[in-house]
Amino acid sequence: MAIDIGVIATDLTRIEPIGRMAHQFGYEGICVSNQTNGLVKRTPEGIAIYQRANLSGKGIGSIRKQIENTRKHTILLSVQLGSIELTNWVVEDQRVDILTVDPARDSHLRDSTAHIAAMASTFLEIQFAPLLQTNGLNRSKILKIYREAVSVAVTAGMGVIISSGASQPIELRSPIAMIHIGMLLGLDRTDAEKAIQEYPATIIERNMKKLDSDLVQTGVEILRRGEEM
C-alpha cells in the first residue's frame, strides 16, 4: 500500500489536485501537513488524507508540550532532526513517529540516536522536494546530507521513509520513481520498496489502533470539492 507521508498543503484548493495526481499514480493515501478538521478525510477519488503535525522547538519542554497537545489529534507526528539532546529525547519518548531530515539545518543523525530510534520504531524521513528545487553544487550537498543520514539509519537498523515534500501536483512522483530515488540515496531495492509501500502504512495502522476508535470514526469524512477544511 503506497502512501506519501510528506505532502505540504495549506488549504483544500491545493489538496484536491494533489489528491487527483496521487490517485493517478496509484497511491492509496497521503499525509498532509496542515490544520484540518478530522483525523482522516477522503478525496472524491477515494484517496485517504491523513492529518500530520510537524513539531518544532529549541527545547525539550516546548516539544513535550506540543506532543501532549497534538498526539491524540493527529495520525502522524514529525520532528526535524536537531540537536543530539533533543533528538535523543524525542526517540526515547516514543510518541513521535518520524525524524525528518532538513538539509537546510546543520544537524546530523548520530549512530547512538539511530540505534535508539530503531528500538523505538521511530523512522527517518527523507523528503526529496529539495532535490527538485536545487541544482549543481547545492543539489550535490543535499544528496550528500541525505545519503549520510540514510547510511547511518540503515547501519543501525532504523527504518527509512521516502516522501515527496510536495506542495503542488507537479512535485509528486510515482511509487516506482520513489523507489528509485530511495536506491539513489543508498537503500537497497528491498528497503527502498519498504520506504514507500510498507513503513508509511505501518505507522498509520499502528496509530489508528492506538487512537480511540470513536474519535477515529467521527474523524472520517468525504472531502467535497469547494468545501472548507
Inter-residue contact 81 to 121 (CB < 8 Å): no
Per-residue pLDDT of the chain (229 residues; tens, 9 = 90+): 899 999 987 677 788 899 999 999 999 999 998 655 667 888 888 999 999 999 988 899 999 999 999 988 899 999 999 899 999 999 999 999 999 999 988 789 999 999 999 999 999 999 999 998 999 999 999 999 999 999 999 999 999 999 999 999 999 999 999 999 999 999 999 999 999 999 999 999 999 988 865 444 444 544 554 444 4
Measured between alpha carbons, how far apart are the two ends of the chain, in Å?
A: 26
Q: Which residues pair with 79 in a beta bridge?
A: 55, 99
Cα torsion for 87, 118, 151, 84, to the nearest 10°?
20
What does 164-219 look like in DSSP terms, one character per residue? Answer: ---SSGGG---HHHHHHHHHHTT--HHHHHHHHHTHHHHHHHHHHHHS-HHHHHHT
Paired residues of 50 in beta bridges: 31, 40
Per-residue 3-state assignment (H helix, E strand, C coil) for 139-157: HHHHHHHHHHHHHHHHHHC
Q: What global pTM score does this model have?
A: 0.89
d(CA 219, CA 186): 38
CATH architecture of 3-222: Alpha-Beta Barrel (3.20)
